[in-house]
Structure formats: C-alpha cells, structure tokens
C-alpha cells in the first residue's frame, strides 16, 4: 500500500462540516479508502487519502455539505511537479539516463542452452578466455568468430548460435548424440557373466553357447553364456574351430538376501516457529552473502531465489535480487507410534525396491516382519531377488582336439 501511495501520491485533507459521520459512511460506500483519520476538534477531521481519489469526493462533498482543504501533498507526482524547474533535478535525470545508456553497452548475463555433455562452468571458463564474460563491453564480442571458436574447440558441438539481445549474451548449442560410443562393438569372444552369487532361475540364449543350465548354482563372475559357437559338419562332428561371438541372452540369477532396516522410535520433530522474509540486492557476479547478518541465531532452513533485475525484459541490469525465506524451527523430542513407524519402514522398503529396480533387479518374493525391540523398530526378514545378467567379459575360444 505504501509503495502504491508513494508512486501515485497521497494527500492530507482537512474536512469541516456538520455531517462528518455521513461523509465517512459515504466514503466507504463509494470505496474511497481513508487512513490516519484524526479529530481536529468539533466538526473537523483530518485524514490521508490517495491523490487519485480526491476528484471522486465531489458527489460526497455535495451531499454532505462538508468543505475540504488539502494541507499536504506527498508522493512521486508532487515531487516531480515541485522540482520540475530545478537544474539539479533535471541534471540528475539526464545523468541517470546517460548512466543507463552507458551500462546497457555491457554484457550483464550469459545464457547457455542446449548443452548436456559440456558443463555450464566449463563453457563459462571457455567464454571468459575469449573475452566474453559478465561485465565486458558488448561491442567487443564478435559473435560470428565466437561461433567458429566454439565449433573448433568442441568437436561434439555440431551447431551453435551466438547472439546478443539487450545486455544478455545468448549461446545455443546442439551436441552430437554419442550413440556410437554407447553401442561400442567389442570384437572377439565376449562371455556373459553372472552378476551375483545364486541359482540360475531362467536361461534363454540368443547368441553363444550356454555354460550353465536352469537350477545350477553359480558364483559372481562365473560364465553363463560362452562367447563362441561350435561349428559342426554334416556328420555332426565338431569342426576344429569355433566362431567367436558376443554372448547374448536372458539369464536371471535368483538369490535370497537378508533385509534389515531399523528405526529409532525417539526422534526430534521440527516445529516451525516463524518464517522470515528478506530481500537483498547484489551487484552481478559478487556474492556478498549478506543474509547471514540478518538472520537470528536459531535453527533454520533458508530458501533463496535469485533473479537478475531486468528492464523491458531483455535489458538485464547489473543487479541481482535475492529473495530469502528463512523458516525457523525448534526441535521437539517425539516418539513414533506403531503405525507411523510401519509407514516409514514400508516407505524405506519401497525405496529399496525402487533403487534396485533401476538396476534391473526384481523382488519376486519377500518374507519380512516389523518388530519392536525396546526403543527400536526393525523390519527384518529376507527377500528373493532376480538379477539379470548384462555384463560381458572377454573370453577365449577353447582348443578343439
């Protein structure tokens, strides 16, 4: 409200008349906002109101027969009106514009997009070496040359676009997808090996020769599918050579593994007491960490939202605004109830399943129970896991007699 009033101006009004209470009632009906109303004696009050609303008072004054006198004017419109002929005022506005015009000739932010392999820090260091950094003159940057330098320095970049918009330098990259690197073909014999100790639950061979059968016990690292294929002649006799291949197939190793997770019944619960909000301004590129001077010495979680100040969207000013939200809390000792503890332990179990699931491991059977021993809840038992075999290892072709 105060910013609004400073911007559009407010006036202090002295009102005299017999029907002041009716005047106030009509003001509220007309939605004219009055504040700091004080009595100045019999049939006389003074109050503040927005400068814009003064003209809306006309019908109210006519109805109530009150007389209005403006005693004080405050806010930007009156300030500009009062000092419009002062040389210093006009000079300072001119200086501000000149300073603004001068500062718009510099780069105040660098936007990088489209990069995935090249990290932002690495690219920024590269750009700084080429004199394209925050605070450098925009006119000095040769965008075409910079594009060529990026293409030359990074072979994985297949296309780039560099342009300056306002006070920001925008760099867009397109990187080559490294499919060749991911699907690297390895020559020679490649055996498929067991990822863990256990029993072979399923085996299906696509290429190669099975080294184990369903139900066999294997150790981690044992060969499951050989990376070679025996070659027979028409008489079903083994020819004296093997064809080397990369072993491929679906092999699942089953293994029973103990599962144990513990949870202390006593814990410290965060009790949020207060939320403090601060706004600080910093010069671009300088991290002064001012907030630590404001925050009280209490336990807290601090969130910070940083954004550069902009003018007309594209002109980034050399100032950043940091909005801090500090949530203060106190720790209160609490105890988990049975249902809460069960919920937490089950959540942890689900997280465990999700984590191993990302590696392709499946839980086919579980036998776990939740117990309370003293002040500790524990989830104990075992789980039946199925590991898929994916890892290949270089092998050798056996000699044939």
Partner 1 sequence: MKEFLEQRRWRWREEESADAFLPGEIRLTLAGSRRLLVENFKGIVYFDESVVIVQSKKQTAAIGGRKLQIEYYAKDEMLVVGSIEKIEVKESGA
Q: What residues line the site for partner 1 (CB under 8 A)? A: 20-22, 24-25, 27-29, 31, 33-39, 41-42, 45, 47
Maximum C-alpha span of the chain: 128
Smallest separation, CB 353 to partner 1 (Å): 41
Cα 303 to Cα 291: distance, rounded to the nearest angstrom: 11
Question: Considering beta carbons, is residue 131 or 337 the nearer one to partner 1?
Answer: 337
CB 190 within 8 A of CB 394: yes
Question: Considering beta carbons, is residue 25 or 269 the nearer one to partner 1?
Answer: 25
Cα 40 to Cα 27: distance, rounded to the nearest angstrom: 19
Question: Considering beta carbons, is residue 35 or 294 the nearer one to partner 1?
Answer: 35
CB 209 within 8 A of CB 229: yes
Cα 193 to Cα 244: distance, rounded to the nearest angstrom: 16
Question: Considering beta carbons, is residue 5 or 284 the nearer one to partner 1?
Answer: 5
In the block, tokens 């089950």 appear at 346
∠ CA 119-125-130, nearest 5°, is 125
Smallest separation, CB 65 to partner 1 (Å): 17
Question: Considering beta carbons, is residue 25 or 174 the nearer one to partner 1?
Answer: 25
Question: Considering beta carbons, is residue 33 or 232 the nearer one to partner 1?
Answer: 33
CB 25 within 8 A of CB 19: no
Residue 6: in which H helix or E strand, if any?
helix 2-8
Smallest separation, CB 31 to partner 1 (Å): 6
Smallest separation, CB 72 to partner 1 (Å): 16
Query: What region does 288 belong to: left with phi over 0, alpha with psi -120 to 50, or beta?
Result: alpha
Q: How many residues does the chain have?
A: 401
Smallest separation, CB 22 to partner 1 (Å): 8
Contacts of 318 (CB under 8 A, 6+ apart): 103, 106, 108, 135, 283, 284
Smallest separation, CB 28 to partner 1 (Å): 4
Question: Considering beta carbons, is residue 37 or 368 the nearer one to partner 1?
Answer: 37
CB 262 within 8 A of CB 373: no
Backbone φ, ψ for residue 317 (5° rounding): -85, 155
Smallest separation, CB 270 to partner 1 (Å): 21
Smallest separation, CB 140 to partner 1 (Å): 55
Cα 36 to Cα 119: distance, rounded to the nearest angstrom: 57
Contacts of 6 (CB under 8 A, 6+ apart): 74, 75, 76
Question: Considering beta carbons, is residue 271 or 364 the nearer one to partner 1?
Answer: 271
């Amino acid at each position: 409200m105060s910013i609004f009033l400073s911007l559009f101006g407010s006036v202090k009004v002295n009102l005299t008349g017999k029907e002041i209470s009716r005047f106030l009632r009509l003001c509220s009906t007309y939605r004219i906002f009055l504040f700091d109303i004080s009595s100045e004696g019999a049939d006389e009050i003074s109050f503040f109101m927005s400068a814009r609303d003064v003209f809306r008072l006309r019908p109210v004054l006519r109805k109530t027969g009150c007389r209005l006198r403006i005693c004080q004017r405050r806010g930007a419109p009156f300030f500009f009106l009062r000092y419009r002929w002062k040389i210093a005022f006009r000079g300072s506005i001119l200086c501000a514009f000149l300073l603004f015009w001068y500062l718009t000739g510099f780069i105040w932010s660098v936007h990088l997009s489209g990069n995935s392999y090249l990290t932002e820090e690495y690219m920024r260091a590269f750009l700084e070496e080429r004199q394209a950094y925050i605070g450098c003159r925009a006119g000095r940057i040769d965008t075409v040359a910079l594009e060529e330098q990026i293409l030359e320095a990074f072979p994985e970049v297949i296309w780039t676009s560099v342009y300056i918009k306002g006070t920001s330098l925008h760099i867009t990259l397109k990187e080559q997808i490294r499919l060749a690197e991911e699907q690297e073909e390895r020559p020679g014999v490649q055996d498929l090996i067991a990822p863990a100790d256990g029993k072979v639950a399923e085996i299906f061979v696509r290429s190669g020769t099975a080294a184990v059968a369903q139900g066999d016990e294997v150790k981690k690292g044992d060969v499951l599918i050989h990376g070679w294929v025996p070659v027979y002649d028409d008489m079903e006799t083994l020819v004296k050579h093997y064809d080397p291949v990369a072993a491929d197939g679906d092999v699942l190793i089953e293994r029973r593994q103990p599962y144990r997770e513990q949870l202390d019944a006593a814990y410290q619960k965060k009790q949020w007491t207060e939320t403090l909000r601060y706004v600080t301004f910093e010069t671009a590129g300088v991290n002064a960490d001012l907030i630590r001077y404001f925050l009280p010495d209490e336990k807290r979680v601090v969130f910070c939202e940083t954004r550069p100040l902009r003018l007309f969207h594209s002109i980034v000013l050399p100032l950043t605004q940091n909005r801090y939200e500090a949530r203060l809390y106190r720790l209160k000792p609490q105890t988990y109830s049975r249902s809460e503890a069960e919920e937490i332990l089950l959540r942890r179990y689900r997280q465990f399943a999700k984590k191993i699931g990302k590696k392709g491991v499946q839980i086919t059977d579980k036998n776990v129970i939740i117990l309370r021993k003293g002040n500790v809840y524990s989830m104990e038992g075992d789980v039946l896991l199925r590991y898929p075999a994916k890892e290949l290892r270089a092998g050798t072709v056996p000699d044939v007699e």
